[in-house]
Structure formats: C-alpha cells, structure tokens
Structure 1
Amino acid sequence: MEKRIELEKRGRNPEEIDQLILDDCRSTAIVGLTDEYVGLRSLSIINVGLTSLKGFPALPSLVFLDLSENRISNSLQNLSGCTNLKSLNLSQNKLKDIESIDPLKSLERLKYLDLSNNEVTKEEGYKEYIIEYFSKTIKLLDGDAFFNGKHESANDSDEDGEDGSESEAEEEGEGDDDDDDDDDDDDDDDDDDE
C-alpha cells in the first residue's frame, strides 16, 4: 500500500492531494496513509484485503470513502476522525452484527451508506438501527432511498412507469407484427415482378 501511495502522489506533498485510488494493492492493514493528507476528499481502497482499519488516520476533509470488497470485520471506530464523511461504501466485507457497525454513529454527516453483502444486513432491526441514528442525514442505504428517515419506495413510481411501459411495449409489439405483414406483402410483390 505504501508503494502505491507514493505512485499516486506523483511527487506532490500529502496536503496537496485530494484523491487517492489504492484499489487492488494487496495489504491487510492501513500502511503509509497518514493524517498529513489533510486535503484528501476522496479515497478508494477496494479489494485490497484489509481485515482491519487499525491505523486509519483522521482525515477531516474526506467526503467519499470506498472500502468495498475487503475483509473488514471491526475497528470502524477508526473512521471517527473523518468528520465530513458523506459517502461510505463498506459492501462485501465481514461485518457480522450491529455492534460492529455501532462506531458509525459518530459520522454525523453521512448521507450514503452501503453495507450490502455483509452479514449485519440480515440481522433483525438492522435498517431501523441505521435510520434511528442517521434519520436527519441518510439519503441512501444499501441502494434504498430515504427521505427524512423514511423509506422512499422507488417501486411505487416504477410500477406506474412499468404499467405504462408494458402498454407501450404491447402497442409496439403489435406495430412490429404489422411491419412483418408488410414485409410479406413486399415479398409477394417481388414474386409478381419475376
């Protein structure tokens, strides 16, 4: 991870960097990322093999953090120094229970949270727990939209659209049949020309 960070820096000082993409560099721990990256706004550490966030620095400017496809099972309290974090993707990790995600409560500005494909999402009361703590800020949880802590049913509006779409599709299908008949007529005309 340290080598990858050096490559991403491209000779710049840590405080000048606003984005780091460390995807697919193998590391089980946070190494080389320090609190010197005060201007860092976007950080992607996808599919690295992280098992813990121990040593994750305080990054007060960080807004977007993607830690998906790792093996993180705990130590989320290390994200508490990311006071401006609005988008957090922890999908496809090893978070098993509500206690493991409890430290996320300190992220008061969080709007987008993805914990999908973690065992914790199967726990009874999981969504209610998240909504209780983030009701004023959460907009998207595991791909589901929320407004003022209430689930926005995207399906309701989609159903109306689907009904209309089905009718249009049926009408188009009927039109296609007519076109096929026209093609057959054209073939008959070709036979007459011979």
Structure 2
Amino acid sequence: MGYCSKRRANEEWKNTACVDTVRELVLDNCRSNEGKIEGLTEEFVNLEFLSLINVGLLSVSNLPRLGKLKKLELSDNRISGGLDVLAEKLPNLTHLNLSRNKLKDISTLEPLKKLDSLKSLDLFNCEVTNLNDYRESDGGR
C-alpha cells in the first residue's frame, strides 16, 4: 500500500483495515476529483509523510486535518493560493514542497508564517521566486 498508479486511492484503501498505522503515503500521479483525494481522511492519524505530486490539485483546502504530518510534497500541481488552511490542518509540518505550482505573489506565502515548525520550504520554479524583492520580503520565512 502507499503507491497507486492512476487508480483511485479509495480502491487501494478499502482493503486496508488499519489506516491508523500508516506513517507514509505516496499518491503521486493519482488524479484528484475536484481538488479532493478520495479516501484521504482524518483517519490517517499517524501519517507523517504525504506525497501528492502531480495529482491536479488547485488548492489545499480539501486536505484533511493530519496532526502528525511533518512532510508534505505538493510539487507539480496548480496551487495558486489558499495556503492559510495549512497551519490549522497540519500544525506540525516541518517540510513543505510547493515547487512547480502557480504561486505568483508574496502575499500568497504570508500564511506560511503561522507554521511554527516549518524548517524547509521548496518553491523551485514558482513565479514568486522571480520577483525582485522575493528574498528580502520574508515571504517564505
């Protein structure tokens, strides 16, 4: 369990009885349905690493609350804002990869300051890194 190739995550998980024991989950290249990953719920209480690379996410608003999640991979999606929910839903996040998303303005990164445990933020190939005052603005911490 943990990797699916173009099958719905729900199909993978319905045969799994102990989602509360899963610590790492890789769903790269699965397709989201209107910004939701079917089967990804708050039942994954011990999840520490989640990879949602290239799943077609437009926002993070539909992510479930995952209190133990430390590392979140969201590269190669189409996220352009709405990062304010991360501090509420993922309070212990230490590593966040948003590379190759549609982040254009420093203001969209402002909510990440509320992630007190955040140590690593990857914004590679995001338009926001091309702004003249990107480094000085404290937008990414």
Q: TM-score scaled by structure 2? A: 0.83
Which one has the largest radius of gyration? Answer: 1
Aligned to 1:45: 52
Aligned to 1:100: 108
Aligned to 1:31: 37
Higher relative contact order (CA 8 A, sep 6+): 2
Correspondence for 2:20 among 15, 18, 37: 15
| Residues paired across the two proteins, number | 133
Alpha-carbon distance in structure 2 between the residues aligned to 1:114 and 1:75: 17
- Superposition map of 1:146-157 within 5 A: none
Superposition misfits of 4+ residues, deviation over 3 angstroms: none
CA shift, 1:31, in A, is: 2.8
Flag the 1:98–1:24 CA change in 2: closer, same or farther, 3 A: same
State the secondary structure of the residue aligned to 1:24. Answer: coil
- Superposition map of 1:2-151 within 5 A: 3-7=8-12, 11-27=16-32, 28-32=34-38, 33-80=40-87, 81-130=89-138, 134=141
CA shift, 1:73, in A, is: 0.5
CA RMSD of aligned residues (A): 2.2
Query: Is contact 2:7-2:30 (8 Å) kept?
Result: no
Percent identical pairs in the alignment equals 45
CA shift, 1:8, in A, is: 5.3
Q: TM-score scaled by structure 1? A: 0.62
State the secondary structure of the residue aligned to 1:23. Answer: coil
Unaligned runs of 5+ in 2: 1-5
Question: Greater share of helix residues, 1 or 2?
Answer: 1
Flag the 1:8–1:36 CA change in 2: closer, same or farther, 3 A: closer
- The residue type paired with residue 107 of structure 2 is E
Unaligned runs of 5+ in 1: 135-194
Aligned to 1:162: none
CA shift, 1:3, in A, is: 2.5
Query: Is contact 1:5-1:22 (8 Å) kept?
Result: no
